[in-house]
Amino acid sequence: MKVKVRLFGTLGKKFPDHDPLNGFEVEIPKDAGVNDLIDQLDIPKSKIGLVSVQGCMVKADKTLKQGDYIRIYRPIFGG
């Protein structure tokens, strides 16, 4: 199944087909979850702060559906 992924910060730099404004489509197995997607994209978990699906923050065990729009954010630091 296909989902759309948008990566924020420097996460998208290693994906040449990632559009910073619109993201890119990723083919994932049926019943895959957020963790499976992150593993497939080979993004270290330490580089991920927040994940949203359809605009709602989710946990890593969230199961994805065809056509979901996933946003992956880097950790946010500040002072």
Please state the domain count of the chain: 1
Is 52 contained in some domain? yes
The string of pLDDT tens digits covering residues 3-44 is 999 999 999 999 999 999 999 999 999 999 999 999 999 999
Is 57 contained in some domain? yes
pLDDT number for residue 77: 76
Is 79 contained in some domain? no
Dist CA 28 CA 9 (whole Å): 23
Is 78 contained in some domain? no
Is 9 contained in some domain? yes
Is 62 contained in some domain? yes
pTM, full prediction: 0.92
Q: 38 by DSSP, 3-state: which?
A: helix
Q: Which domain holds residue 32?
A: 2-73
Is 59 contained in some domain? yes
Dist CA 49 CA 31 (whole Å): 23
